[in-house]
Structure 1
């Protein structure tokens, strides 16, 4: 091999070595570039992953909030349903209690009517009490006072006239036990003069007319609806007695409140109403300390 060929071969080898080194260097750069690309891709994926995690966490928080709201709504619905049930039970109990109260009132009314009917029977069996004129301090009343029986009764009234000189009396009648013994079941006689003026209205029931439950509950007095009471009315006497068993001790008071007595001037120029109180069981009687006087 000549010198020229030898140089060409060496240059060729040198160039081959150069290209090998160059290729190796490029290969290193390529590997570095690939690693860089992979790293960048990983970082990019990591950022996306973190973003996805944040989004999922937000979504999870929203779901938790929604679940809490639904739970609260469910609790409110359960509470509302429970309140409705409780209210329903309370209304049912109130309805039952009202029915029980109505039945109790009806029972009480029937018991009062039974007692009143028994009283009417006793009245029918009792001889007619008749009051004669006697002074307040009559000697006949003294023995009763000594036994501790003493009742003071009186009218408190006003007379109201209309334009045609008719009108009515409005007032109350009071009984006061000023003795030492207990008084029982007073019978009151209102005596009208003239007899044609005999009329009395107020909170007084008549068992003949079958009074309502309210009338029975609101009333204290009843008319004595028997044969001799009707005859007494013809001569100007109106008799009433307690609707229920009545006792009042020493110092106690009893009253007939807000009665009305209508009158007409065409009947008579002077009208008087006296009152007498009779305690049948104790055989004691007393005249009211005053009377009603109407003058035209």
Structure 2
């Protein structure tokens, strides 16, 4: 009888020990997983911080001020008819364009055309020579005026035509300011002569100016 009780007691003790060992094992596992969770949370926090910084850098880059523009001539040259003795001039017609390629508005555009030789190249087009407008007429859609009051002296001595538009004063990103349908008349005299028209653009944001990507260049 006593032997049977001893056996049962031993069996209960073994069962109790097993339960205690299981509890210790599971507690150890729980602590291990808790540590893994903490490690993962730390890694997630670092990843979120990196992602937040990356998005912040992208926003700052998008908000970065970019001031840039392109300028260029698009034109056609008409040579004189050899049979027409009354008109021996060369005619150049076309457009001069300033395109805002940045992300900031450009203010107060000014175009400069420099001609060589100055005395034989005349520039015409939608230019008002500073006479007051008749208020009974609608303002033209496009109009340019010379910047200087003594512009004739600038043209004569330097070959420079400084013009600004009266119909616009800003150029938004992606938009263009165009001196359209200009008409240049060139009087050829000497053979083997180089006739040149260069273009430059200025704005309040680009006071040093930019030169046109191309020129009007003729070799007689």
TM-score, normalised via structure 1 length: 0.46
Q: Which residue of 1 aligns with 2:129?
A: 206
Query: Do the aligned partners of 1:159 and 1:294 also contact (CA within 8 Å) in 2?
Result: no
SS in 1 for 2:67: coil
Shift of 1:185: 1.3
Query: Do the aligned partners of 2:121 and 2:185 also contact (CA within 8 Å) in 1?
Result: no
Q: 1:235 aligns with which of 135, 158, 166?
A: 158
Instruction: Let me know the Cα RMSD of the aligned residues.
Output: 2.3
Q: Which residue of 2 aligns with 1:149?
A: 67
Q: 1:254 to 1:276 in 2, by over 3 A?
A: same
Q: 2:199 aligns with which of 275, 287, 294?
A: 275
Q: Which residue of 1 aligns with 2:94?
A: 171
Q: Which residue of 2 aligns with 1:288?
A: 212
Q: 1:193 to 1:241 in 2, by over 3 A?
A: same
Could you tell me which runs of 5 or more consecutive residues in structure 1 were left unpaired when the two chains were aligned: 1-145
Shift of 1:295: 1.9
Distance in structure 2 (CA, Å) of the matches to 1:264 and 1:219:
27
Rg (Cα) greater in structure:
1
Is the aligned partner of 1:159 residue 2:57? no
Distance in structure 2 (CA, Å) of the matches to 1:285 and 1:264:
29
Could you tell me which runs of 5 or more consecutive residues in structure 2 were left unpaired when the two chains were aligned: 1-63, 83-87
SS in 1 for 2:140: helix
Higher strand share: 2
Q: 1:267 to 1:244 in 2, by over 3 A?
A: farther
Is the aligned partner of 1:190 residue 2:108? no
Count of residues paired in the alignment: 149
Q: Which residue of 1 aligns with 2:85?
A: none
TM-score, normalised via structure 2 length: 0.61
SS in 2 for 1:199: strand
Q: Deviations over 1:214-238 (max 9, x none)?
A: 58424332222413x3432121001
Distance in structure 1 (CA, Å) of the matches to 2:73 and 2:206:
24
